[in-house]
């Protein structure tokens, strides 16, 4: 009889293990999401690593952190939306415009997700669990 296992204790232990695994998953996903979307030293578009001066000295009117190449492309994209731009850049065609348009939509969707109550709840839960 000494080998009888307390089933309630066993269930509590199993639940605690499951909860910890779930918490680790949440932390891992959140960490990856935040690292990938908010790294201050990488270009928001192409992901290239930037040195500190390039990352800090940027045009604050541009809502994204770009390397110099992507910033030039973004500026050209904005000019072309306004009916301007350099016509000698023939490779900046309608498909190229679509790429930028969809990338900006994606960035706005990510920002919108970060503003949802569920995402904020996740942040609160993970802060409490520390």
What is the chain's mean pLDDT, rounded? 83
Residue 3 lies in a domain: no
Whole-number Cα distances in Å, 89 to 4, 66, 74, 99 = 79, 20, 13, 16
Q: Is residue 2 part of a domain?
A: no
Q: Does 1 reside within a domain?
A: no
Domain annotation covers residue 121: yes
The count of structural domains within the chain is 1
Q: Is residue 27 part of a domain?
A: no
In a domain, 29, yes or no: no
Q: What is the pLDDT of residue 129?
A: 47
Instruction: Look at residue 58 in the predicted model and tell me its pLDDT.
Output: 65
Say if pTM beats, i.e. exceeds, 0.85.
no
- Residue range of the domain that includes 102: 39-128
**In the numeric block, which tokens belong to residue 29?**
């996903």
Tell me whether residue 81 is in a domain: yes
């Amino acid at each position: 009889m000494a080998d009888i296992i307390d089933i309630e204790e066993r269930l509590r232990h199993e639940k605690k293990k499951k909860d910890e695994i779930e918490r680790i998953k949440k932390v891992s996903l959140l960490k990856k999401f935040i690292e990938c979307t908010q790294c201050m030293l990488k270009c928001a578009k192409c992901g290239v690593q930037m040195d500190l001066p390039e990352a800090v000295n940027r045009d604050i009117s541009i809502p994204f952190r770009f390397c110099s190449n992507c910033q030039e492309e973004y500026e050209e994209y904005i000019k072309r939306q306004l009916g301007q731009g350099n016509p000698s850049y023939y490779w900046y065609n309608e498909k190229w415009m679509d790429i930028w348009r969809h990338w900006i939509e994606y960035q706005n969707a990510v920002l919108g997700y970060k503003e949802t109550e569920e995402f904020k709840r996740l942040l609160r839960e993970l802060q409490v669990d520390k």
